[in-house]
A and B are shown apart, each in its own frame.
Chain A
Amino acid sequence: MAREATGQVVGVDVGGTFTDLVQIDHQSGAVRLAKVPSTPENQAYGVLNALKAARADLSALDLIVHGTTTTTNAVLERKLSKTGLITTKGFRDVLELGRRTRPQAYGMKGEFRPIIPRDLRLEVPERMDAEGRVVVPLDEAALRAAAADLLAAGCEAVVVHFLHAYANPRHELRAAEVLRDVWPNGYQTLGHALLSESREFERGVTAAVNASVQPLLARYIRQLEQELQEGGYHGQLLVMNGNGGMVSSARVAEEAAKTVMSGPASGVIAAASAGRAAGLPDLITYDMGGTSTDVALIRGAEPSVSNETEIEYAMPIHVPMVDVRTVGAGGGSIARVNAGGLLQVGPESAGADPGPVCYGRGGTEPTISDANLLLGRLDPARIASVEGGVTLEDVRAVFEDRLGRPLGLEATGAAEAVIRVANTKMAGAIRMVSVSLGADPRDFALFAFGGAGPLHASALARELGIPRVLIPPRPGITNAIGCVVADLRHDYVRTLNTGLDALDMDLLRGVFAEQAAAGAALIKTEPVRLSGVKFVYSVDMQFAGQTHLLRVQLERPDVGRDELRRLFEEVYFRRFRVELSEIRANVVNVNTSVIGEREPADLSTLIDPGGRKASLQEARVADREVYFDGWRETPVYRRDWLPPKAVVEGPAVIEQMDTTVLLEPGDLVRSESGGNLLVEIGGGA
């Protein structure tokens, strides 16, 4: 196992707009940060620019951990490698037919583009039944012909997806052997390889996504590695996965689908790590950006993980991913008065271009960001620095014209209305996420990040009855920090789908042991220094006849039948307040996560201790009028200047490079030793 000789680690995350970087020197504790524009055509440039901006000495770095949106963007924009499908005769349209739904409940419209077009989906005679018995043997000549046709059509990657391959993968495995001779590269994905469970649409899409992003990701990583090496880098490159763990660059493309949605996962990993350090293991993460807001749940410092993520309409990727839900509003959400005279915020967004009116890029509709500006929550002086020559008066005029007049309000009142309505909607959405995961938001702290999260967090916490808000030192680069603190992680899922009464408990223990051994072996090959290896065991259960699953966490793998039944009933009652002792329980999935834990990073210096002032008064840079149920003279502090143990009572504004923290009247904020701000809602009263 290689050693991290100098202790210099870089986390670099590519987002939609910016590429963020954090470099930590584990020996000296020194921290460097950089934020540069992303380069969507080739994200590697942004990564190199960020390294340059941080003046990183590539030859002195031990480890670079990278979060990339290469695969996410490729799927959402359908800029995929040309990929063919070979499937069971009679079933090539499964990927196009989906599960018979529509994009919205109301409105008989909407479109769907299958991940692989119909002319590249070919069929071969073969068939298994649900028990894994061969009904029709695999026609190998047809298979070779199909592969030849796909190659002739210019396909680079291929998926072999046969019905019931989860029950018996023999035909898929044989097809792989045949393809090895005829397919010119290694870009072959077998349907059962990433996800060995029933449901042909979900399994097929997961495999098809994997195949169609594999060549892209492999090329990207290869190029990035090469550029880094040319720059003098000799260390390891690790890549973030959507499960919040990371894998080595050598292995990442094999299961390329697992990198989809890794960006939001990194942020949640950073939150979990910060929460653990701050003694707040139960968090709701709230990442509000310009166009949308991401919410996730963390319990016991472990992010909630889902195997059933749908990244857009009818695009399921069923590999374990941190369960991040997107809930509508962002800073660019547009406010309108509807025909009934009611104020509505969103779902339309001005996005980043033209963006809010105050960006000066031609936006003409009032947005949440504009409302924050009019209310003094964002610094009105900043508008002077934007291009386009837009003034505060222009923004005010838009609010008067579009909202104030129909609502019978002044511009200020209209702006206040926009914020109140937006907060109500966001709070409702956050509540739905937590309730759907069986959690009461009042038992959690809110972890606010993203450019706009800390501006709304106190109000949302109050709305939701959440007592505390945790704001990390650098809310705008949380995903990059997630890269620095993430562990190695491999998840295993095996479907048993057996009644608990009939379950062979030795089989269950055997599956756990097998999964744990596989993960431990894999982690041993990764060239990263670890402080330990952790095994997390769980089973997904349901009452017979139900379709929903509930996850039961186990402290150890050698669980007894009665104990499992009791644990499941407890989890069920906690979630639904319903007790159902009269019905039989099923064990559906057996899960093991093997986590290679890295040594904790010291993040206390993310805000330079040398820059902090001795007194609160010195950190106070201005006072300005901010609107909270009326205008109030409000102190404005600079985050980087706050004394280490500062205590600030609301109302207050705390500004920093990448975000603004708003403290409502009656709230109390403390500057914590880890560099976090901890807000106590109503704590100042």
Chain B
Amino acid sequence: MSLDPITLSVIQAGLQQVCDEMDLSFSRAAFSPVIAEANDRSDGIYAAEDGALIAQGAGGLPVFVGVMQYSTRRLIEMIAAGDVAEPRPGDIYIVNDPYLGGTHLMDVRFARPFYRNGGLYCWLSNTGHWPDTGGAVPGGFSASATAVEQEGLRLPPVRLFKEGVLDPEIYAIICSNIRVADQRIGDVKAQAAALLVGEDRLGALMDRYGDDTVTAAIAELRRRAVQQMRAFIAEIAKGTHTATAWVDSDGVVNEPLAIRLSVTRDGDDLVFDFAGSSPPCLGPMNSVRATTLSSVYLAVRHIFPEVPISAGAFEPLKVAGIEGTFLDAQYPRPVSGCAAEVSQRIAEAVFAALVPALPDRVTAAPAGTSGNLALGGHDPERGRDFVMYQLSGGGYGGNAGHDGLSNGCSTIGISKAPPVEIMEQAFPVLYHHYALREGSGGAGRARGGFGLDYKVELRRGQAKASFVMDHGWVGPQGVLDGGDGAPNEVCVLRGSDRHVPAHLSKEQDIPLGPGDAVHVRTPGGGGYGNPLDRDPNLVQRDVELGYYTGAEAQRLFGVVLSGNVVDQTATAAFRKKQR
């Protein structure tokens, strides 16, 4: 069946709309702030035969761009093999097994079969980050887990809803294994209702344009997406581009993990080869295959935001060499760090490899850590236990157009940070400061953005601090002669003791008493281009604003200030000597 170009564009917009409405419905009705405020969720439409991504909501969390198609594919394979019950109309499968096309246990996927004229036409699926799925620590980010069982409850695909009705027995098992279970019903209903919205809207789209037309359009759109991705690949210089990115440690063994990447343009394809990366690790910094692939896709989409989120767009992107590395972890390796941290290091490797080939499009490395600090304890004044999370941003990389953004969110997220006032309302803490981290942006023609500097004190009771961060060992990479951003720094102040974690960015269960505090300084972004090429007037302004000291202006940028004003002659002479 041949399709006119108008119908094709209109159906493309229609499929996108179905997914965007699912996203909206999910977020608006969700309870967990992680979903409702931080949009840590995603919704999409997947092919019946192989789970290939047909369309996904534009507002979904970036790390999920590629994940759910693998999750759906595994579900389809398991149904075909008879390992999972056959679907019936109204069923919703729940699954969070990382090794079955997932991320970490907290990302819980729902999948609902979509029927048309009595036959399975496609799958509607969504993922939401649950605040807790059990395991050793509240929230699931255990820095010292050595097996997935310590990270929480692992669910194989089971039908949580059977023909539209919630199975109370499965639900009871889940609730008995997770924390704050009483509020979870709100998220479960919101997640299921979003799929129902998708069913209604997709049905309406097919009624309007006809099943054959929509089917033909889906196939054609996939072909077009391949073509579009290939056109972008053609912008990349031929040959092989390499980079290495480092994960500080796995949280258990204090040794850096290497992500070694070579990107090769092979005809129309782009091959991302990770051979030579570190082997699977003991601690939770392993990535599973689906997350590794998705990290490559999201990095490419950061470079080419015009590309639609669809299986076709990813088809020319080939990932190789992950077998036997920590980027393709197998059961029972712990994986809680994969979505929040390792994924960002993979993206950093992609950026670093491609920036020389696409200097106008790619930025220097962003802070690239979620900066996850958890405080769990007891508040005697309110007589209750609490778990507080502080996720933080950092500086973004400089780029061809401008300096990096300060305090941007993680590469894989799009979420807002909670205000200090809300944190202090909810938890027995007092922030001493919440400030821009001066001097942290990597020097460059375009400098990196600045990280965050905060110190938070426990006011009463007892608590334990845990954190899963990264980039403590080396800062985000500068590019094209730009300097690195400042690395992440954590210091725990207990009485007169200043404790710097052995793993720099990861540690678990550090006991705190009243008056003890945690001081966190998040990374700045990498610099872009030679700092000696930076406009001295911009450097002067940076000093006026207190971003750098006068001494740093000279040391990092070769700009000599006299009073607060650039000494042009001295600067020219000094820069000449530096080159």
B418 to chain A: closest residue by CB: A99
Partner of A108, one of B30, B186, B230, B411: B411
Which residues in chain B, 103-136, are within 8 Å of chain A measured between CB atoms? none
Complex alpha-carbon distance, A667 and B391, angstroms: 54
Residues on A with beta carbons closer than 8 Å to the beta carbon of B424: 129-130, 164
Q: A100-B393, A546-B186 are in contact. Are A119 and B431 (CB under 8 A)?
A: no
Which residues in chain A, 517-552, are within 8 Å of chain B measured between CB atoms? 543-548
Q: A108-B366, A421-B13 are in contact. Are A432 and B6 (CB under 8 A)?
A: no
Q: A90-B432, A135-B430, A546-B186 are in contact. Are A339 and B24 (CB under 8 A)?
A: no
Residues on A with beta carbons closer than 8 Å to the beta carbon of B421: 130, 163-164, 166, 198-200
Contact with B along A195-220 (1 / 0, CB 8 A): 00011111000000000000000000
Residues on A with beta carbons closer than 8 Å to the beta carbon of B24: 432, 435-436
Complex alpha-carbon distance, A340 and B60, angstroms: 23
Contact, CB under 8 Å: A543 / B31: yes
Complex alpha-carbon distance, A119 and B422, angstroms: 27
Chain A CB within 8 A of B405 CB: yes
Complex alpha-carbon distance, A117 and B434, angstroms: 17
Contact, CB under 8 Å: A101 / B415: yes
CB distance from B7 to the nearest CB of A (A): 9
Residues on B with beta carbons closer than 8 Å to the beta carbon of A421: 6, 9-10, 13
Chain B CB within 8 A of A118 CB: yes
Contact, CB under 8 Å: A339 / B189: no
Complex alpha-carbon distance, A583 and B397, angstroms: 44
Residues on B with beta carbons closer than 8 Å to the beta carbon of A435: 21, 24-25
Complex alpha-carbon distance, A588 and B433, angstroms: 28
Contact, CB under 8 Å: B435 / A342: no
Chain B CB within 8 A of A193 CB: no
Residues on A with beta carbons closer than 8 Å to the beta carbon of B258: none
Complex alpha-carbon distance, A435 and B20, angstroms: 11
Residues on B with beta carbons closer than 8 Å to the beta carbon of A425: 13
CB distance from A572 to the nearest CB of B (A): 9
Contact, CB under 8 Å: A576 / B190: yes
Contact, CB under 8 Å: B405 / A112: yes
Q: A421-B6, A421-B9 are in contact. Are A90 and B434 (CB under 8 A)?
A: yes
Residues on B with beta carbons closer than 8 Å to the beta carbon of A432: 17, 20-21, 24
A428 to chain B: closest residue by CB: B17
Residues on A with beta carbons closer than 8 Å to the beta carbon of B545: 117-119
Contact with A along B358-399 (1 / 0, CB 8 A): 000001001000000000000000000000000111001101
Contact, CB under 8 Å: B392 / A105: no
Complex alpha-carbon distance, A87 and B397, angstroms: 29
Chain B CB within 8 A of A554 CB: no
Contact, CB under 8 Å: B407 / A546: no
CB distance from B375 to the nearest CB of A (A): 16
Contact with B along A153-192 (1 / 0, CB 8 A): 0000000000110100000000000000000000000000
Chain A CB within 8 A of B5 CB: yes
CB distance from B29 to the nearest CB of A (A): 4
Contact, CB under 8 Å: A340 / B193: no
Q: A108-B366, A163-B421, A200-B419 are in contact. Are A546 and B36 (CB under 8 A)?
A: yes
Q: How many residues of A contact B (CB 8 A)?
A: 72
Contact, CB under 8 Å: A548 / B28: yes
Partner of B416, one of A90, A99, A580: A99
Contact, CB under 8 Å: A94 / B434: yes
A421 to chain B: closest residue by CB: B9
Contact, CB under 8 Å: A100 / B399: no
Complex alpha-carbon distance, A545 and B6, angstroms: 45
CB distance from B406 to the nearest CB of A (A): 7
B12 to chain A: closest residue by CB: A342
Complex alpha-carbon distance, A166 and B402, angstroms: 37
Given A198-B419, A543-B31, 15 other A-B contacts at CB below 8 A?
Answer: A90-B431, A100-B392, A100-B407, A102-B408, A105-B414, A119-B546, A338-B228, A339-B232, A341-B227, A342-B228, A343-B9, A417-B6, A428-B16, A578-B190, A583-B185
User: B: which residues have CB within 8 A of A?
Assistant: 5-6, 8-10, 12-14, 16-17, 20-21, 24-25, 28-33, 36-37, 58-59, 62, 182-183, 185-186, 189-190, 193, 196, 221, 224-228, 230-232, 298, 301-302, 305-306, 351, 363, 366, 391-393, 396-397, 399, 401-403, 405-409, 411, 414-417, 419-422, 424-425, 430-436, 452, 544-547
What would be 12 A-B contacts, judged by CB atoms less than 8 Å apart?
A: A100-B408, A100-B417, A119-B545, A166-B421, A198-B419, A200-B420, A340-B225, A342-B5, A342-B8, A432-B21, A546-B30, A547-B37
User: A: which residues have CB within 8 A of B?
Assistant: 89-94, 96-112, 117-119, 127, 129-130, 135, 163-164, 166, 198-202, 338-344, 407-409, 416-417, 420-421, 424-425, 428, 431-432, 435-436, 543-548, 575-578, 580, 582-583
Which 6 residue pairs spanning A and B have beta carbons closest together? A90-B433, A339-B231, A340-B228, A100-B393, A340-B224, A100-B417
